[in-house]
Structure 1
Amino acid sequence: MIKIYHNNRCSKSRCGLEILEESGKEFEVVKYLDNTLNKEELTDIIKLLGISPIDLVRKNEAIWKTNFKNKNLSDAQVITAMVENPKLIERPIIINGNKAVIGRPPELILNII
């Protein structure tokens, strides 16, 4: 089943949700700010995306700028930062089987559904 890791306050995430709704396919909405991801889940998502952990970080968030910017962090430390501060996770993330994409721009979602 398709999953969208969603933040309703984010316009790109809302657009991603709309694309999934219009597709007519079944999907699950994961509100990752309410149901936070653990290290294993986040690591699995990063592997599916085929990116480095730092590429999933929202670097303009105040939390990042205040606590982590310009620090030489390991991948494990970046993952820990996102687990402890889920606002740092880029959104939306859509997973369909063994494929995943960050919906920025939202049209990228069409490539995996």
Structure 2
Amino acid sequence: MIYRRKTYKIEASLRSEFNLHFNKTLLPTQLKYGARLVGRWMTKGKNKDEIEIFAIWEYDSYEDYINIENKVRSDKEHVNRIQDWFEKIGGREKLKKYLKDEIKEDFLETTLL
């Protein structure tokens, strides 16, 4: 079993739209192909204008993660919904304005026996 942690730092003004996008667009497709969401949380960043959002996903193996990601990325309806969201917020370049740091992703392995 492995866990993937994905972290975003965004401007607080994008919080509602970003969370709605996750729940309506990203989450359903991930679940459709077998990803398992452990949880998703947010906290205030270093200043009041910044929010940190992170999710923990569970996979049977790294290969399982790769297979699921390949299915998600090849799902044309999903890709179209993401493109529509980019257009709604003003394009990818505008999204970069809202991101306070690069998107981080790492994989966690348990230390419990």
Report the TM-score when normalising by structure 2.
0.27
Structure ranking higher on relative contact order (CA contacts 8 Å, 6+ apart): 2
Bigger proportion of residues as strand: 2
Q: Which has the larger radius of gyration?
A: 2
